[in-house]
Amino acid sequence: MTLWLTRRAFLKLGGAAALGLALPRRAAAAGLRPMPHAHLLGRTTTSLRYYQLPTRSSPELGYYVTDAVIPILEQAVGEADPPHNPLWLRTNRGWVHSSFVQPVRERYNEPILPVPAGGFLAEVTVPFSQAWDFEKSPARRTYRLYYASTYWVDFGDTDSNGVAWYRIYDDLTGKYYFTHARDLRRVPPEELTPLSAGVGEKRIQVDLAAQRLTAFEGDRLALSTRISTGVVEGDTPRGEFRVERKRPSRHMAADDPTGAGFDLPGVPWVCFISWTGVSLHGTYWHNDYGRPRSHGCINLSPFAAKWLYRWTEPVVPPEEDHVASEDGTRVVVF
């Protein structure tokens, strides 16, 4: 592959970008004490109000802006509003509803340099990592790469300040962006090996009314999880399908004149069931499973999506970024 960015230009631009990122850590900027790596945090996926008690009828104490990183001190069943989800989270400022808080952690990684030939799949292990476009000068910010999203890394280097960077490929735009290497973890091959390999009959059932997905091995229940399907009737089509294509990472985007468009890089663990683009995939932009929220795809938690990605056929080899088949796992949507 021809690199459009020379090492000298990378060192110069990388140093400039690193200076632009020389800010206090998010926790410190929010007035919080640094938390241990094992401590569970949350990222607000939208502006979110917090309350004195786990109910919207209690006094409102303030609000968090989008992408605020907050400590999750306690979980509790509170007011069921919306009715499908009564789970509330206590932060250091008050109670927030869980629907728009992505559970995250903040774990840094040892950079893998040089990047092996062919690159590798990586996932974000911090609440978010800033991507930069170094093709033009001065360097500019592009996307935020959110926790549990996945990307293909094909190059890495250190800049003039000694900061390690990875270059990631955007499969939608065909462009390359750089982000801090410590924020991404290589997904090892053992995490991509098939689950229940050799099991005869596997099938997935998607119940639109119950907003629940179940996976079976013969008559044995293998997985049951809440999902979010299409908001508009018919966006998630009913019928019998097959997993026809799989990708461990996909940039999904669509324009919409009504403002309902989306632009989501690094959607993880994608199993397509229709040529129209309907798929099962991981979701990092909400935590609101149990009611319709999508444009037609079947939203799952990143954990459940990764399990299905490994469990379904066809199998994607660790070194590949996609695979197609006419005889994938059966999916029934009703």
Choose one of 89, 104, 119: the last residue of a domain.
Answer: 104
Give 244-275 pLDDT, tens digit per residue.
999 999 999 987 666 667 899 999 999 999 98
Residues 53 and 182 in one domain: no
Choose one of 82, 104, 126: the last residue of a domain.
Answer: 104
Domain contains 31: no
Residues 233 and 215 in one domain: yes
Residues 314 and 209 in one domain: yes
Q: What is the model's pLDDT at position 200?
A: 80
Domain contains 60: yes
Compute φ and ψ for 170, nearest 5 degrees. -95, 110
Name the domain count of the chain.
3
Q: Is residue 43 over pLDDT 80?
A: yes
d(C-alpha 112, C-alpha 45), whole Å: 30
Residue 47 is part of a domain; what is its CATH number?
A: 2.30.30
Q: What is the model's pLDDT at position 136?
A: 79
Question: Higher-confidence residue: 83 or 24?
Answer: 83
Q: What is the model's pLDDT at position 13?
A: 45
pLDDT, average across residues 68-85: 93
Residues 75 and 128 in one domain: no
Give 195-252 pLDDT, tens digit per residue.
999 888 999 999 999 999 999 999 999 999 999 999 998 899 999 999 999 999 999 9
Compute φ and ψ for 29, nearest 5 degrees. -65, -30
Q: Is residue 24 over pLDDT 50?
A: no
Report which of 224, 229, 232, 230 is spatially closest to residue 205, judged by C-alpha positions. Answer: 224
Q: What is the model's pLDDT at position 39?
A: 57
Domain contains 193: no
Helices and strands per DSSP (H, E), number in the chain: 3, 25
Residue 260 is part of a domain; what is its CATH number?
A: 2.40.440.10
Domain contains 284: yes
Least confident window among 1-5, 39-43, 297-301: 1-5
Residues 212 and 271 in one domain: yes
Residues 89 and 99 in one domain: yes
Q: What is the model's pLDDT at position 259?
A: 61
Q: Is residue 311 over pLDDT 90?
A: yes
Domain contains 254: yes
Q: Is residue 96 over pLDDT 60?
A: yes
pLDDT, average across residues 106-134: 97
Give 160-184 pLDDT, tens digit per residue.
999 999 999 999 999 999 999 999 9
Q: What is the model's pLDDT at position 19?
A: 36
Q: What is the model's pLDDT at position 135?
A: 85
Residues 19 and 162 in one domain: yes
The rounded mean pLDDT for the chain is 88
Q: Is residue 18 over pLDDT 70?
A: no
Residues 94 and 110 in one domain: no
Amino acid at 156: G
Domain contains 57: yes
pLDDT, average across residues 96-117: 96
Residues 302 and 246 in one domain: yes
Domain contains 212: yes
Which residue segment(s) compose the domain that 262 sits in?
202-333
**pLDDT grade for 21, boundaries at 50, 70 and 90:** very low
Choose one of 126, 156, 187: the last residue of a domain.
Answer: 187
Domain contains 145: yes
In 3-state terms, what secondary structure has residue 7? helix
pTM as predicted = 0.88
Amino acid at 35: M
Residues 18 and 160 in one domain: yes
Residues 173 and 80 in one domain: no
Q: Please classify residue 24 by burial: count the beta carbons closer than 10 Å to its beta carbon, then call 0-12 exposed, 13-18 middle and 19+ buried.
A: exposed
Residues 100 and 141 in one domain: no
